[in-house]
Structures are given as structure tokens and as C-alpha cells.
Amino acid sequence: MRAAVAAGDESAVARLLDDAPRTVLAGPAGAALLTRAVRAGRHRIVERLVAVGADPDRTEFTGGVDLVAEAADRGAYSMVMALLPGPVARQRRALEAARAWLGCSEEDELRRRLGGGPDVTFAYEDVHEDVDPDNPHLYDPTPVAVRIHATAADGRTLTVETAHRALVTAVEKTIGTFATTADELADRALHHARHGFRDWQASVWRLADRADEESFACAARLIRSPEPSHRRFALDLLAAIATHLFLPHPWRHGRQALDLLRAYLATDEDHPELLDGALFAHSWYAHEYGTGEDLYAILPFGSHHDGAVRERVLHELGPSMNRNPAVVDLCTTHCDDPRPDTREAALHALATYGPDSPELRSLFVDRLTDPHAPARLEAAAGLALRHDPRGDAVLARFAADAEPESPTWWRLDEVRRLRARTAPAG
């Protein structure tokens, strides 16, 4: 077991844990393994050990060091969350250790701990989520924090990750602390102002959980900010509320949110990433709280100079093209888009939701030789879903090469099922 933990062999650890008595894991043997896993940075193994009874509060193998507080002090988000299940006292220790970093920058605190002065140097590296061995296709390469390495003139070093604010937000939720204001949660996200960082995401989802008057007011204030990062946080929050509140009852601020987004889209915003988020959120609210006029208000963005914005419009309006010929025309036009992913989106929308006509079938045939493989797949899918065999050879080649559970594999499976459902009788 010790060798498997040291090597980070999760499969071997899982097999060995199945055979290990729980009473043993709750005692010194489990504490020793847990300490080894924490020191090696194996948070997935730590999670498994805690789940079967290993006690993070034991300190006989840590030199008296509190593993939970130490991990929280380092900003080691994944490790803290793996250690956290258990008594509230454990969670409060993590909260206290992480909160100590909120009053200043990480560099200032590191400099203080190393004795101050200008001779402390810093090096930075992005922190990424580990690849989940069970779901490697879900890996997102977006950085979630920064790891800061501080070195004093005498060679002493300290390292932290910039996730203390995320830890405070997450542990507050675990404990059930609800006194934190919406503006304070937003400030935590905007301290580093990095979209996708853990502190950003923790605040977004905490506010989305609340979805109260204060959360909406926070979004309404920030969406009007001159700072792009503030506007992006507001858009992320509105999108999170829309997707998080997929409930049988409407959100009382739903129509207000839609009006807010329509007003935002009428400004001269031209950051493609922000427009993408706004179009996504707008479509959710338009479907739930708006009219057809609201939904199709984003059609002009289908001609935007940025290809990703055009792609977003095709994704959002494609499913409703049967109610508006202008969407069919837009998708048809973008089958020749110079951006490969935008062509793919246009072909996907037409293949899945478009009408059946000789002209459209001819378009699909022309795209069977598209240089972008996903576009070829959608062209073949469009023919297959109309029971036209001219794309079958292309589909067969994709099927032969598709990795199980890959996007191509899932799309082929969807096409097969849809084709079977609409097969002519007899």
C-alpha cells in the first residue's frame, strides 16, 4: 500500500483499500498512509483514504503539524477539499488558515514570512486540474490558480497557490456561513480577476446558489463596469444562475436579467469572449422568460467579425431554425465560413435541425470533402439523417477511427439513433 501511495497509483490503492479492514485504516496505519499521500500531493488518493476512515486530525506522523491547516495555508485547494469531510472543527481550522491570506497579496505575505526586504524573488507557474483517469475526455486545460515560488537571498523557499479565496468561499458554504455579502464574494473573484480560476468559479457558483436580490444587483452593477473582467464576472454569474436554476418554478429576476442582457448586447462591447458569454446567457433567458423576438434578437451577431461569436449564434439559434427561415439562411451562408469550427457549427445545425430539400442535400454532398474533419462528419450526418446513402462511406471511416466516448463516437451514436427513429416504414 505504501508503495502504491508513493507512486500515485490510484487503481492499485483502490484495490488494496477494498481488502483493508476499516478499523485498521482509522488507526495509526491509516494516518501514516494519509500523511504520506498528503506529503506526496496525491489528493485523489487522500480523498479515497479519508472516505474509508483515515483520520486527518491525527498528528503522530506529521511532527505535530495539522495536515488540514497546513494544506489550507498553502492554498492547496484540491488537497483541502479531499481532507475536509468530517467534523466542523476540522473545517473551521481550514477556514481560519485560508482566511489569514485575504488581507494582502500573496507576495507580501511570502515576503513577510521570509524576513521581508526587496531580496525575495518570485517565480510563477500555472496550476491545472489533474486529468481524471476515468474521464480524460473531460479535461479542461484552463489554469485554475497560479503557484508562486518565493526565494529569499539566503536560499530559503516558500510556495503557495493562489486559491485561498476559493477555499474560504467553499468552506464557508460547507459550514453553512451565509453572512458573506455578494459584493465580498465578487471581490474575492476579482482580486486576481482570472476567468476560470478557482476563486472566480467558487464565487460565481456561491452567488448562483443564492440567486437572490443581492446576487442580481451585483450582476447588474458589474455588467456596467468599465473593467472587462468585471463585466465578464457578471455574465458568468447570470449564465450560472440560468443553468443552475433549471427548476420547475421561474426565477423572479428572470425577465429583468433578459432585459439587462439585451441592453448589454446593444452596447458597443467588442470583446469576443464577453460577447460569447452574453449570447449564451441571453439565449437561456430568452427561452425561459422571453418571446421569439427576444430569442432572434441575436441574429445580427451571426455576421460578427469574430468567428467564435458567429459560432455561438449558430449553436444558440440552430435548434429553433424551423420557426425562422432567417436562421436557415444564416447557417447555409456559414457552411462556407473561413473558420473551420464555425463551418462545423453551421453544418451541425443544418444536419440536426434543418429541413430536407435537394438544395440542402447538395450542400452536404459538397462538404463531404471539407478539409476540416468535424465538418465532413456533420455533412455526412446531414445526409444520413435524411436517409441519403451518399455520406455513408464517410461515416464508416469515422466509425472505424473513433475512440470510445470521444465527441466523434457520441455524434455517430446520436446519428445512428436518430436515423433509426426516422427510418421509413417497411
Residue 233: pLDDT above 70?
yes
258 and 341 in a single domain? The answer is: no
Q: What percent of the chain has pLDDT over 90?
A: 74
Residue 40: pLDDT above 80?
yes
Residue appearing with cell numbers 488540514:
68
Q: Choose between 393 and 6: higher pLDDT.
A: 393
Euclidean distance between CA atoms 63 and 48, whole angstroms: 23
Residue range 360-377, pLDDT digits in tens: 999 999 999 999 999 999
Domain's final residue, options 236, 257, 290: 290
Q: What percent of the chain has pLDDT over 70?
A: 95
317 and 280 in a single domain? The answer is: no
Euclidean distance between CA atoms 361 and 379, whole angstroms: 9
Q: Is residue 63 part of a domain?
A: no
Q: Choose between 8 and 415: higher pLDDT.
A: 415
254 and 313 in a single domain? The answer is: no
Q: Is residue 380 part of a domain?
A: yes
Residue 7: pLDDT above 70?
no
CB atoms within 10 A of CB 281: 26
398 and 324 in a single domain? The answer is: yes
Euclidean distance between CA atoms 364 and 354, whole angstroms: 12
Euclidean distance between CA atoms 215 and 234, whole angstroms: 10
Residue 145: pLDDT above 80?
yes
* Interval 82-90 mean pLDDT: 93
Cell numbers that stand for 23 in this block: 478499523
210 and 315 in a single domain? The answer is: no
Residue range 305-339, pLDDT digits in tens: 999 999 999 999 999 999 999 999 999 999 999 99
* Count of positions (residues) in the chain: 426
Question: Computed from CA positions of residues 144, 251, 171, 137, in that sequence, does the dihedral angle turn out positive or negative?
Answer: negative
CB atoms within 10 A of CB 134: 7
- Nearest-5° Cα angle at 286, 357 to 351: 20
Residue appearing with cell numbers 424551423:
322
130 contacts 81 by C-beta, under 8 angstroms? no
State residue 247's pLDDT score: 60
Domain's final residue, options 238, 262, 290: 290
Euclidean distance between CA atoms 350 and 334, whole angstroms: 11
Q: Tally the domains of the chain.
A: 2
| Domain hosting residue 263, numbered range | 178-290
Residue 404: pLDDT above 80?
yes
8 contacts 45 by C-beta, under 8 angstroms? yes
247 and 353 in a single domain? The answer is: no
For residue 414, give the 3-state DSSP assignment: helix
**What band does 219 get if pLDDT is binned at 50, 70 and 90?**
very high
State residue 245's pLDDT score: 66
CA-closest candidate to residue 295, choices 303, 286, 304: 286
CA-closest candidate to residue 40, choices 84, 79, 82, 86: 79
Euclidean distance between CA atoms 382 and 384, whole angstroms: 6
* Interval 78-98 mean pLDDT: 94
Q: Is residue 281 part of a domain?
A: yes
CB atoms within 10 A of CB 331: 26
- Nearest-5° Cα angle at 370, 271 to 296: 40
286 and 317 in a single domain? The answer is: no
State residue 96's pLDDT score: 96
CA-closest candidate to residue 33, choices 70, 15, 58, 11: 58
Q: Is residue 220 part of a domain?
A: yes
199 contacts 137 by C-beta, under 8 angstroms? no
314 and 237 in a single domain? The answer is: no
**What band does 9 get if pLDDT is binned at 50, 70 and 90?**
confident
Euclidean distance between CA atoms 300 and 302, whole angstroms: 5
State residue 10's pLDDT score: 74
Domain's final residue, options 246, 261, 290: 290
**What band does 297 get if pLDDT is binned at 50, 70 and 90?**
very high
207 and 270 in a single domain? The answer is: yes
* Interval 383-407 mean pLDDT: 95
263 and 338 in a single domain? The answer is: no
Q: Choose between 79 and 137: higher pLDDT.
A: 79
Q: Is residue 405 part of a domain?
A: yes
Residue 25: pLDDT above 90?
no
Q: Is residue 275 part of a domain?
A: yes
Q: Mean of the per-residue pLDDT values for the chain? A: 92
Catalogue the long-range contacts made by 300-308 (C-beta closer than 8 Å, 24 or more residues apart). 301/265, 301/275, 302/330, 302/334, 304/272, 304/275, 306/272, 306/275, 307/337, 307/338, 307/339, 307/341, 307/342, 308/272, 308/276, 308/339, 308/341, 308/342
Residue range 240-267, pLDDT digits in tens: 999 886 666 788 999 999 999 999 999 9
State residue 426's pLDDT score: 59
State residue 283's pLDDT score: 97
CATH classification of the domain holding 325:
1.25.40
* Interval 155-174 mean pLDDT: 95
Euclidean distance between CA atoms 388 and 392, whole angstroms: 8
Q: Is residue 139 part of a domain?
A: no
State residue 91's pLDDT score: 95
314 and 263 in a single domain? The answer is: no
396 and 325 in a single domain? The answer is: yes
Q: Is residue 150 part of a domain?
A: no
